[in-house]
C-alpha cells in the first residue's frame, strides 16, 4: 500500500486524509520529522500559512522537508501549502521552503468573504480520468487563496482562471494548487498526485 503523508499541523489535513483513504492509500499524519520516514509522497494542506510555517519550524520539519523534496520526494501544496512551496511569496513574512520556482501572492483574491468557486478545465487530469471524466471541468474552491504571479523555467502551468491568473502548476516532483481539491468529492487531483508518486519521478527540485 502506498504511503502518502499529510502534514497535520493545522488546516484541512483531515479532508486530504479521507480522500487518500478512498484511493486505497495509507495516509500517515505528519507532525514530527520521524513521521516522514518511509513516505512516498507528502501533501501540505490549506490552512493558515503563517501558522503552518511557524509550527513546521518549531517542530524542526523545515530542513527535512527541503531535503526530501530536493531528493525527489513528490510534494503537493494546496493553498497555504502552495505558499510554503514557493521560491518567493509576496505578502508573506513567514519562513517558506523555497523549493518551487514560482512567485505567489498571499490572499490575492481578498478576504474570507470574497472566497469563491470556479469550474476549471484542466487537461492534465485526463491522464487519470475515466472516459466519462475526460474533458470534464474541475470544480475548484478558493478560500482566501493565493495566486501564482510568475512561473520559472521548467514550471508547467496546469490551470488558470478565464482572466489568465495561474492557479495550478507543476515542476518535476512538486505540485501546487491555489484551490482546495480536498473540499470536493472530485478525487482526480488526488489521483494525479498519486500518479506522480507511482511514476517514480525522481526529478530534482530546481
Q: At 104, which helix (H) or strand (E)? A: strand 100-105
Quote the CA–CA distance of 114 and 130 in Å, as a whole number: 33
CA dihedral for 198, 191, 177, 15, sign (positive or negative): negative
Contact 16, 51 (CB under 8 A): no
Phi, psi of 30 (to 5 degrees): -100, 120
Instruction: Please determine, for residue 184, whether its predicted confidence score (pLDDT) is greater than 50.
Output: yes
Q: Which of 79, 96, 105, 190 is catalytic?
A: 79
**pLDDT value of residue 206:** 33
Instruction: Please determine, for residue 205, whether its predicted confidence score (pLDDT) is greater than 70.
Output: no
pLDDT tens-digit readout, 104-147: 998 777 666 567 899 999 999 999 999 999 999 999 999 988 99
Quote the CA–CA distance of 91 and 163 in Å, as a whole number: 22
pLDDT tens-digit readout, 146-176: 999 999 999 999 999 988 999 999 999 999 9
Based on the residue annotation, tell me whether 201 is a catalytic residue of this protein.
no
Q: Which of 15, 40, 105, 182 is catalytic?
A: 182
| Residue of 188, 170, 195 whose CA lies nearest to 19 | 188
Strand partners, 175: 76, 170
Based on the residue annotation, tell me whether 79 is a catalytic residue of this protein.
yes
Instruction: Please determine, for residue 201, whether its predicted confidence score (pLDDT) is greater than 80.
Output: no
Based on the residue annotation, tell me whether 180 is a catalytic residue of this protein.
yes
Domains of the chain: 4-198 (3.40.50.880)
Cell numbers at 203, concatenated: 526529478
Phi, psi of 138 (to 5 degrees): -105, 125
| Residue of 44, 17, 19, 38 whose CA lies nearest to 191 | 19
C-beta atoms surrounding 86 within 10 Å: 29
Amino acid at each position: 500500500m502506498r504511503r502518502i503523508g499529510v502534514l497535520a499541523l493545522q488546516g484541512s489535513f483531515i479532508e486530504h486524509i479521507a480522500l487518500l483513504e478512498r484511493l486505497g492509500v495509507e495516509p500517515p499524519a505528519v507532525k514530527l520529522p520521524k513521521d516522514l520516514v518511509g513516505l512516498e509522497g507528502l501533501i501540505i494542506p490549506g490552512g493558515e500559512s503563517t501558522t503552518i510555517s511557524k509550527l513546521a519550524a518549531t517542530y524542526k520539519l523545515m530542513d527535512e522537508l527541503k531535503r526530501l523534496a530536493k531528493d525527489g520526494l513528490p510534494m503537493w501544496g494546496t493553498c497555504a501549502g502552495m505558499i510554503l512551496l514557493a521560491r518567493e511569496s509576496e505578502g508573506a513574512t513567514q519562513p517558506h521552503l523555497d523549493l518551487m520556482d514560482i512567485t505567489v501572492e498571499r490572499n490575492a483574491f481578498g478576504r474570507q468573504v470574497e472566497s469563491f468557486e470556479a469550474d476549471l478545465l484542466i487537461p492534465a487530469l485526463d491522464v487519470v480520468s475515466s472516459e466519462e471524466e475526460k474533458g470534464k471541468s474541475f470544480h475548484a474552491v478558493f478560500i482566501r487563496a493565493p495566486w501564482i504571479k510568475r512561473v520559472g523555467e521548467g514550471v508547467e502551468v496546469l490551470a488558470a482562471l478565464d482572466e489568465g491568473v495561474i492557479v495550478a502548476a507543476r515542476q518535476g516532483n512538486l505540485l501546487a494548487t491555489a484551490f482546495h481539491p480536498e473540499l470536493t468529492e472530485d478525487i482526480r487531483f488526488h489521483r494525479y498526485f498519486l500518479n506522480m508518486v507511482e511514476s517514480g519521478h525522481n526529478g530534482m527540485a530546481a
